[in-house]
Structure 1
């Protein structure tokens, strides 16, 4: 078979800050998926994109080429509207857990095809797998049954959805080309568009614990993804939310599930409740229910009923006790004052070092490992008072975790400025 292009010419085009044609993009993504273009060549092209960027037309074509590399799902046979949510990843971000059941309690299907954690950001599937019996793998036919009957699914994305993205992401991860807005946007949106949902809300994190460290970067990423979704016929909006401080009071798999259940029971930390309700309202508005009272559904038990049905449908026992760590260690305040810094990245890395995350995709994770926050950002603390408790099954991990965690916590004499959780929305 004679190939339509020479890959070196394609690389050179982007290296020299020129536009890639639709035909070049379609060919190079397909050729890489087929193995005709080598890893070293795609790595060079990724770096050229990282350094020189892509315009909107190129990003649309790149995203479409990744969608075309595999299967596409459709939810047209369902009797209810579909809406999904995607987070760009953060620390203590357990929002997917209460959000899916909350939205589905209004008669909307929420097909959430999620991933596993890598590095300091947690993975939704890892969290749910701490529930005895729960399984992430769901066949397409079973997924459709659950969506029709119960409304919410959190499952592993099938290998057939945007396989080019999976291959390219693995390469970006080892070549320092992850945090490129065109590559992040096309990676996320190729999977979400191929998934076939009618509407999508994006939670784009901003701050030390997120990919996007500042608001301008996050805004550009959000707008790029919203444009990609709308161009593909998916009603899309984005919320820019804070990730300078961890979300909630827990970081780690079973610990975060426990906190999510507290939210579904009408309690839980105020920031988790606020963001869950904000995203749920946006999702339901896109699904045609702008007046839905999401706070009431958390209080009256409807969301909890949906959670129990969702967990049971995938083999989990919603009444089973969650696993607990064999070893804990407290970090206490060295002086009186206020917590003026509780750095999301530092605590995320600390949780990872305790065993809650993985450095490589094939690494195992501890369901029980993580961090429990007793005294939050802006709160008053007395000398000797517990700030955080570290959890792990392997106590030799405490020392390295404490190095980074203690560096991420500061105590000052003046109460710090209040955290702004939701910065803005992008339509």
Structure 2
């Protein structure tokens, strides 16, 4: 697929922006030429911020049909540069995107595990905002780590290591950055076509061979219900496939935190446990299954199951950890730190810790992720605005799991904090986030509930899916 940054802009018919706003307010579909004009007007400053805000709100209320959404995605991609890679990498360039969660450190072990299996992983990630964490914030817990890497630097790292995790550069989909900043202050972030175009434009601009999307649903997710997550996943997958990127999506539950740690430094430490073949079972499952699907999708495994086994082997034999260390060194972490990650002295610790205990015996039914994340953010772990400075050491350790039996007085969470201290109201909210019932211990279900392909949904039963174009 060839998408030139400025292709066709000189031929755009001149429109009145107010007419385009009125047309969308009336519920009519915009033409390809009108959408191209909107993107170009945003880039050149011809459209006022108030006009862009009005149009985005009209799209939020009236929606866009699949053709409009696809066109908007293409024009966002064409607003900047598309990454170019050596021809011999074709077929093995892969990436993953998550719609955001609490304790979601999957990318940290996944990227090096995929690299250890022979893939090239140019992972462009973001920062946390609101109650969801950001991959770049976690990695910056390690002194010296730099998320700012030019395309040439990315290619050099991929050549030597196989993976990199970087921030979005200014020349990659610049129009999306303009739109997103306006969406953030106009209550239009949750628009389905705008989410689709924003996510997929950045991924298509990466020029990868295969893409997997972790679309989360639940109380702590952008999509509260699995039905809403399914609609979003189908939109994302349809656009990806239509633009030439083999794409599938997993629908995964986001009611409780992933793994046992929430907070930047603590999540890096937990990711290291996963890279050493240990750690939380739900984190390992998400890493192996997500990686397994990608290995299958790009042809490095005959099935998702075989791919998951290859990812698990890379975690267990140390090859993924070796790639992770090499990636950190390539992105600015001193070799003494990168090679001694198991030493806790390499991580800043919070000055204070506080244990909370369960107030009755029983089985843990639920640990609600959202209130935990919101309280940690208030303590400094996250940001409410993009310019906020975060404290990497603030976080929480879950000392019990869903389905586990507990006795009254057992510790269930350890809060790591600096200043301000934990308040009584926050303590009460945390205690209310754990639900204990009178029933036998149980094994919680898999977080992954469905797989979405271009052909539609599939219940997640372990059945092998087929790549696009394959026949029975």
Aligned to 1:62: 72
Three-state SS of the structure 1 residue aligned to 2:421 is: helix
Residue aligning to 2:415: 390
Q: 2:300 — aligned with what?
A: 289
Q: Does 1:113 align with 2:113?
A: no
Partner of 2:369: 344
Instruction: Name the residue aligned to 2:40.
Output: 30
Q: Which moved more, 1:377-386 or 1:260-269?
A: 377-386
Q: Deviations over 1:179-232 (max 9, x none)?
A: 111111111001111121121111111111111111111111111111111111
RMSD: 1.7
Q: TM-score, normalised by structure 2?
A: 0.87
Describe the SS at the equivalent of 1:396.
Answer: coil
How far the C-alpha of 1:341 sits from its partner, in A, is: 2.2
Q: Is the 8 A contact 2:218 2:224 kept in 1?
A: yes
Are the counterparts in 2 of residues 201 and 238 from structure 1 also a CA contact under 8 Å? Answer: yes
Query: Residue 168 of structure 1: CA displacement?
Result: 0.9
Deviation per CA, 1:284-308: give whole Å up to 9, x if none.
1122111442211211111111111
Q: Which runs of 4+ in 1 moved over 6 A?
A: none
2-structure distance, mates of 1:253, 1:114: 15
Q: Which moved more, 1:403-412 or 1:175-184?
A: 403-412
Look up the match of 1:147: 158
Q: Residue deviations 1:125-152, cap 9 Å, x none?
A: 0000001221111122111011011101
Deviation at 1:78, TM superposition (A): 5.2
Instruction: Check the 8 A contact 1:253/1:368 in 2, yes or no.
Output: yes
Output the CA distance in 2 between the equivalents of 1:294 and 1:179: 33
- C-alpha deviation, 1:414, in angstroms: 2.5
Q: Residue 396 of structure 1: CA displacement? A: 2.8
Between the aligned partners of 1:94 and 1:195, the Cα distance in structure 2 is 21
1:187 lines up with 2:194 in the alignment: no
CA 1:239 to 1:24, structure 2 compared with 1: closer, same or farther past 3 Å?
same
- Alignment of 1:426 with 2:446, yes or no, is no
Could you give the per-residue CA deviations for residues 95-115 of structure 1, whole angstroms, max 9, x where no partner exists?
000000101001110010111
Aligned pairs for 1:351-390 (under 5 A) are 351-390=376-415
1:327 equivalent to 2:352? Answer yes
Deviations 1:154-187 (A, max 9, x none): 0111011111111111111111111111111111
Aligned to 1:19: 29
Q: 1:155 to 1:260 in 2, by over 3 A?
A: same
Deviation at 1:406, TM superposition (A): 2.7
Instruction: Give, in whole Å, the separation in 2 of the partners of 1:79 and 1:225.
Output: 24
Alpha-carbon separation, structure 2, partners of 1:242 and 1:96: 17
2:332 alignment partner in structure 1: 315
d(CA) in 2 for partners of 1:344 and 1:3? Answer: 49
Q: Name the SS of the counterpart of 1:367 in structure 2.
A: coil
Unmatched 5+ residue regions in structure 1? none
User: Tell me, what secondary structure is at the counterpart of 2:166?
Assistant: strand
Matched length: 427
- C-alpha distance after superposition, 1:14-42 (max 9, x if no partner): 11111111111110111012111112111
Q: Any unmatched runs of 5+ in structure 2?
A: 1-9, 454-472
- Is the Cα–Cα contact under 8 Å of residues 251 and 370 in structure 1 kept in the other structure? yes
Query: What CA distance in whole angstroms lies between the structure 2 residues aligned with 1:22 and 1:4?
Result: 13
